[in-house]
Chains A and B, each alone.
Chain A
Amino acid sequence: MISQQPTQTRPGTVVEFTGVVKEFAGMRALNGFDLTLRAGEFVALLGPSGSGKTTALRVLAGLESTDAGTITIDGVDVSDLSTSKRDMGMVFQSYSLFPHLSAGENVEFGLRMRKIKPAERRRRAAAALAMVGLEDHFDRFAHQLSGGQQQRVALARALVTEPRVLLLDEPLSALDAKVRVQLRDEIRRIQTELGITTLFVTHDQDEALAVADRVAVMRAGNIEQVGTPEELYSRPATPFIADFVGLSNRISGIVRNAQVDVYGTLLPVIDPATPDGPAHVSIRPEDIEFAEAGLAATVIASSFLGSLRRTTVRLADGSTVFLQHGVRVHPVTGESVFLKFSGAPVSTEPVSSTSGVLKPA
């Protein structure tokens, strides 16, 4: 399956997980995991630690075996294919460069394994390094490179063999905030140029929302919701998603006929199947506004965040909520204010149910 043609893109690779189960010492890391990566799509697996996202990626790479279910690449079951035959490029969290080889030799490694002639090997490695902006660093060793540069080399090494799928295992989590954003945008640029199907594992929601075509939020070995970043943010299926993707307030309310009563205001519920009764409601801070009249509250704290301001207030019943607003409004601690809700649909969860209940997306 290794193309020798000089084509830069390998479109058309589709990856499909079907009912994949993986257990570690009795713990289910993947619990009937289903996910399809369309051709050339950039999918982010987002979730808290222990949710199974890294396991899903490692199972696809063949670094872990599966206990049940199938994984297909372009419709072909790869369960019995060893890692070295799966034709994947993988970037690890850190320390994955071979320390005794220079950056260039690291990039050449995969080509060497494919028995490509030295001259071509060197040319392609140099081109791959140029692609990540490190053409001048061919002879540097890993310890002579910064963390960001090491990950760029790792990316070049993963892509130089023109693999069918690119796997990114939290490649940015060991980097400084500024480098992280730079490299994240660059990964997206290169991925778009090459059109390579990509699976990106991260626990950082900003990262996932910024780069992915679709984001799959994982929880307890399964996908809780999958959708475009916009969908996830504006229509979170559950308060878990609302909490994990973006910030949100958790307030009590009562659901009635696909609407929820929150402090006297009726708001539409995202999931119309929500049963009537008391519920936890997740409301985005930007969906609460200051008003001339309405819900009375007292300002506790207000902080300046550059482009916006975040203010925390206490309601009459003692609960606190926070809201985001323009910097021109400048509440003072102790000030009495009134709030209203913007009316955007909210996600809810019945009070009786535990927060651990899984809901299909």
Chain B
Amino acid sequence: MSGGFTTGGVAHAPSRTVRTVILGLVGLIFAVPIVAMIEFTLRAGLVGGYNVDRWVALFQSGFTGVYRPVLIALGNSVALAIGTVVIVLLLLVPTMLLVHIRFPRLRRTLEFICILPITIPAIVLVVGLAPVYAIVARLLGSGVWTLAFAYGITVLPFAYRAIQSNLDGVDVKTLTEAARTLGAGWGSVLLRILVPNLRRGILAGAFIAVAVVLGEFTIASLLNRVNLQTALVVVSKVDPYTAVILSLLALAFAFVLLLVIGRLGAPRTRLSRTRPSLTGSSRTRTNVKGPA
């Protein structure tokens, strides 16, 4: 009688049926390639039929032999991810706090600089990075870890957004002043007051950085470094089945990682743990546009 108005408070929301139809349809279409990947890995050679031999073989071999390069590449990617996170957080968190507390006028500038990398395609960055890395290689050697600097730039917008949205919800200035009046030095203010309060944003930023670095292909590929993605392409040329299995595993891993970020973003009050709030929450928006 009331013209399709729901009682949930969102007057313009679709009905349950409409929602189910839309989500079901889109979900079904989007499931096809994933299902196709799984189907592909289960194919039992030219004779037809399905089995799980390839999965078993991959796990039994313990990534030795042919798959060894993938394992090394995974190691590289993880090391890069850790390196990138450390570099970005060590530089970004103190800078952001300093700007937030002492130089609020610089905030727009900092935001602009941090978001800027998003507008520069990775492929363009590579063109300019090639000569830079020629010099870097001479000074620091050509270790894979040197890519962490370039990755630091590419994850900057993601990390910035995650930390900033947390920062917006915390009254950093008052907390700092309160701690200062209680006799805390700047060091303990940072470590005992600010970092614990920004834990969610920092963790979310770190996780999204890990996801971005593990998924990065462009820069590594064109600078001839080996990481997980470039190794996958190499493997796919030799053994497409294994490449697809590894891709599925990587996608599943990334999904779980982002799910954890989502959980981190959820409000952590005692109330919400026992009874989820109906009114929505200030989830940490960690997802920014990224190169696919």
Contacts and interface: CB of A to CB of B under 8 A. Distances in A.
Is any CB of A less than 8 Å from a CB of B in the complex?
yes
Interface of A: 24, 62-65, 79-84
B2 A83 contact: yes
A82 B11 CA distance: 13
B2 A82 contact: yes
Interface residues of B, number: 6
Given A64-B2, A82-B1, 8 more contacts: A62-B1, A62-B3, A63-B5, A64-B5, A65-B1, A65-B7, A83-B2, A84-B3
A82 B7 contact: no
B151 to A, nearest CB: 40
Contacts of A63: 2, 5, 11
A80 B1 contact: yes
The secondary-structure label for the interface of chain A is loop
A272 B274 CA distance: 47
Interface string B3-28: 10101000100000000000000000
Nearest to A66: B1
Contacts of B5: 63-64, 83
A62 B2 contact: yes
9 contacts: A63-B2, A63-B5, A63-B11, A65-B1, A65-B2, A65-B7, A79-B1, A80-B1, A83-B5
A301 B229 CA distance: 75
Q: Which secondary structure characterizes the binding site on chain B?
A: loop
Nearest to B5: A63
Nearest to B8: A24
A79 B2 CA distance: 9
B79 to A, nearest CB: 49
Contacts of B11: 63
Nearest to A55: B7
Contacts of A65: 1-2, 7
A317 to B, nearest CB: 39
Contacts of A83: 2-3, 5
A53 B163 CA distance: 41
A90 B152 CA distance: 53
Nearest to A86: B2
A81 B1 CA distance: 7
A24 B9 CA distance: 12
Contacts of A82: 1-3
Contacts of B1: 62, 65, 79-82
A80 B7 CA distance: 17
Contacts of A84: 3
B7 A64 contact: yes
A82 B2 CA distance: 5
A84 B7 CA distance: 17
B2 A24 contact: no
B12 to A, nearest CB: 12
Interface in B163-217: none
Nearest to B6: A64
A103 B7 CA distance: 29
B111 to A, nearest CB: 21
A199 B63 CA distance: 74
Contacts of B2: 62-65, 82-83
B16 to A, nearest CB: 15
A83 B3 CA distance: 7
A83 B7 CA distance: 14
Nearest to A81: B1
A80 B1 CA distance: 5
A213 B3 CA distance: 33
A208 to B, nearest CB: 25
A170 to B, nearest CB: 15
A29 B290 CA distance: 47
Nearest to B3: A82
A132 B237 CA distance: 75
A359 B3 CA distance: 36
When A and B form their complex, which 4 residue pairs have the shortest distance between CB atoms, in order from nearest? A82-B3, A65-B2, A62-B2, A65-B1
A228 B7 CA distance: 33
A287 B11 CA distance: 49
Contacts of B7: 24, 64-65
B8 to A, nearest CB: 10
B276 to A, nearest CB: 14
B84 to A, nearest CB: 40
A62 B7 CA distance: 11
The CB with the most chain A CB atoms within 10 A, among B1, B2, B5, is that of: B2
A84 B11 CA distance: 13
B272 to A, nearest CB: 18
A344 to B, nearest CB: 43
Nearest to A79: B1
Contacts of A62: 1-3
A83 B12 CA distance: 14
A63 B5 CA distance: 7
A205 B136 CA distance: 73
